[in-house]
Chains A and B, each alone.
Chain A
Amino acid sequence: MNAATQTGSWSRILGTLTLAVLLEQLPWSGLALALRPDFVLVGVLFWTLHQPARLSFGAAFFLGLLADFQDGAVFGQHAIAYVTGVYLVLFLRLRLLQFDPLRQAAQLLPVLLTVQLVVLLVGWLAVNPPTGLAMLLSALSSTVLWYLIALFLRLWHGKGMQDRA
């Protein structure tokens, strides 16, 4: 229990989320932009999975607004999508915690895809038809990022992260 509280300390949560926001601020362009994983979304979902009591809907909504500002999109577009993603992860939480990194990432792909589709749907209803389906690529790259993070944690902590489920 002691180790668990240490893993999810506030400074660590805030640190990783700040790092995610910073990474999104890099001047991405071209193919890198299309393939860029949604760092903030992965961060939010990760902490929702491992520390649901500390971080959930409110923070996801605020970070979604931030993402909307960054893309110059309508306010609420990403916020609604992120909140939906958090709900899905909470719903699948116990299930997700049982899997090894690769299978966990594979199970997250539909969640990340749903988030992108919600962004698409809200924007479609609020603004106008979209310009193409290239943005779905970020769901794939986010899945890969999730796999890398989960793998890293597993190597770092042994099976610690999973025993707590």
Chain B
Amino acid sequence: MAMPAQLMFARRLGPTARLLIWLLVGVSCVVVDARYRALDGLRSGFSLLLQPVREVMRAPADIAAELGGFFVRHRLLQKERDALLIERARLLNNVNTAKEVVRENAELRTLLQLQSRPGQQVVHAALLYQGHDWFAQHITLDQGGGAGLRRGLPVVDATGLMGQLSRVYPGTSEVTLVSSPGQLTPVLVERTGQRGLAAGSGHNQMELRYMPAQADIRRGDLLLTSGIDRVYPAGIPVARVSRVSRSQASPYLRVECLPLAGLDRSRAVLVLIADPQMATP
């Protein structure tokens, strides 16, 4: 590989040699990070450096949203308000029923001498940045270790389960979405109660793994978290079955599902922090 003469500098390595040196450094970076997870300090450093920048860069989108909101038509607002009032009345009714059920449940549990269910605390967080990666789907939130977050906590939005905190920095944190490849979520089928394992398959899709060919599952079935993993509380909606097909080669059904949470839309999410009581079996 002959290089043009102008690029040759005295007492300086040629481009090929420099490329090889940097490739070596790069490969060792990959190995150290992927195999030994030893570069988390560097990640925290980057996160401290970039957090204020990201906070500032969120402003243009916020301003655009503000401006857009300013010109919403009056009629549309009225319509929305009416719908919300109706929704509120319905929810209030549900809350009253739920309160009653909780009281009854607590009494029954004391009667049966069962351990009471752990309480829950929520932290509001907003989307700061969406990752762009071939191999996993991450989003970054604007809350971190300072707000009491730690690795492994579940993240939800108004419609369903978003994912799980995979990295926590002082002021920000990273969520691995349920649709990220390799992310497993224990679920149960709402209609039949059958348990299963939902895995992300990338691009806002999931699949339900290891469902025997005779299992009763249909298009439209709702999948909820089963709560047996002690990570996700039971009963959070996760996904809806979109296609069930049978393959000759495998003894299992191929079940495709679509996540319910707005994985690529939601800007405001909740992180659920279970009480430490949860940790003691």
Contacts and interface: CB of A to CB of B under 8 A. Distances in A.
Nearest to A26: B57
Listed residue (A36, A52, A71) with the most chain B CB atoms within 10 angstroms of its CB: A71
Contacts of B61: 26-27
A108 B265 CA distance: 33
A83 B130 contact: no
Interface in A89-122: 90-91, 93-94, 119-120, 122
Interface stretch (B45-53, B94-102, B110-118, B268-276): B45-53
A131 B201 contact: yes
B15 A90 contact: yes
A146 interface: no
A69 B43 contact: yes
Nearest to A69: B46
Contact of A61 (B6, B25, B127, B140): B25
Contacts of A61: 22, 25-26
Interface in B62-81: none
Given A29-B264, A128-B181, A84 B19 contact: yes
Interface in B145-199: 166-167, 174, 181-182
Nearest to A132: B203
Interface residues of A, number: 54
B151 to A, nearest CB: 13
Contacts of B182: 128
A46 interface: no
Nearest to B61: A27
B23 interface: yes
30 contacts: A22-B53, A25-B129, A26-B57, A27-B54, A28-B132, A29-B264, A30-B264, A33-B130, A36-B132, A52-B7, A57-B18, A57-B19, A61-B22, A64-B26, A66-B46, A69-B46, A69-B50, A70-B50, A70-B131, A72-B174, A73-B134, A74-B30, A74-B33, A75-B33, A76-B27, A91-B15, A119-B134, A122-B30, A130-B202, A132-B202
B33 A22 contact: no
Interface of B: 1, 3-4, 6-7, 9, 15-16, 18-19, 21-23, 25-34, 39, 42-43, 46-47, 50, 53-54, 57-58, 60-61, 127-138, 140, 166-167, 174, 181-182, 201-203, 264-265
A69 B140 CA distance: 11
Contacts of A127: 34, 135-136
A144 B13 CA distance: 33
A108 B203 CA distance: 28
Nearest to B28: A76
A131 B202 contact: yes
A126 interface: yes
A135 interface: yes
Contact of B58 (A27, A87, A130, A135): A27
A56 interface: yes
Interface in A41-85: 52-53, 56-58, 60-61, 64-66, 69-77, 79-80, 83-84
